[in-house]
Structure 1
């Protein structure tokens, strides 16, 4: 240990001892033991330790590849199965789908709805005619001429 570090530790030790003795009664023969214990504690607290990787990636509840099933999706946070993950993530884990994908390093196209459920909803939408263009929308809208109005007057009244 270099000289400046040793001086810092001695200064810290003396500051701690003074603070301790100002609030506690101690026999004179116990003071050297207290000084030694505090100094050793400071040395141990600042001793070089192997770096602990705090940013270690979390372990999912299930294997990521097995989290997508046809009938359900398995939440990587708690291992529960759902047809749709979005509401569960927000209510139980306070995460958006974007947060979830980023946390688990999932691909951007990771589904938030089970494939079978998505297909069922798609079939229902098609059966009631959603997503189809009607005959009206295929033909161009006719411009309606209103006498007494010019193009600039129509845009001002909007």
Structure 2
């Protein structure tokens, strides 16, 4: 049987081939995988629920968001990453990690910037005008 360290290294290499990781991330991942393999070898039951790779505080920052599944950071939004890397929808992600609906899955500064652009373009006003026009049109149609 292969040495546990070799197995752990092989597993981490496979993971690192699809996920960008720093050298510290690699070492921490090797330690975690090794500990898991050692526990399995000794007959200990592993955790049924996987712990998130990042805490919510680490995952949601002003300038970036991180994935709580794989630990990848430096993202502006999570939607595409979740779809491509984990084949998961935002609702499933929120449910898995108990993230409230009012918590955006994007960097705070990015959300605020997009909000300000929308306000500058008058999108909120245009929506209100369109709704009012639709309402008056519906009233005229009833008469």
Q: TM-score, normalising length from structure 1?
A: 0.49
**Which structure is larger by alpha-carbon Rg, 1 or 2?**
1
Q: CA RMSD of the aligned region, Å?
A: 2.9
Cα pair distance change 1:135/1:85, threshold 3 Å: closer
Gaps of 5+ in 2: 1-42
Partners in 2 of 1:73 and 1:85 — Cα distance?
A: 7
1:130 paired with 2:120, answer no
Conservation of the 8 A alpha-carbon contact between 1:68 and 1:74: yes
Query: Aligned-pair distance for 1:94?
Result: 0.6
1:53–1:123 CA distance, 2 compared to 1 (3 A)? same
Q: Distance in 1 between matches of 2:92 and 2:140?
A: 48
Q: Which residue of 1 aligns with 2:86?
A: 93
In structure 1, what is the equivalent of residue 140 of structure 2?
Answer: 143
Count of residue correspondences: 95
After TM superposition, the structure 1 = structure 2 runs for residues 8-87 of structure 1, keeping only pairs within 5 Å, are 52=45, 55=48, 57-80=49-72, 81-87=74-80
1:60 to 1:136, Cα distance in 2 relative to 1, 3 A = closer
- Alignment partners' CA distance in 2, 1:135 and 1:91: 36
In structure 2, the CA distance between the partners of 1:135 and 1:112, relative to structure 1 (3 Å rule), is closer
Partner SS for 1:74 = coil
User: Are the counterparts in 2 of residues 101 and 110 from structure 1 also a CA contact under 8 Å?
Assistant: no
TM-score using structure 2 length? 0.54
Runs of 4+ deviating beyond 6 Å: none
2 CA distance for matches of 1:91 and 1:120? 25
CA distance in 1 between partners of 2:93 and 2:107 (Å): 16
* Equivalent residues of 2:60, 2:106 under 8 A apart: no
Structure number with greater CO (CA < 8 Å, separation at least 6) is: 2
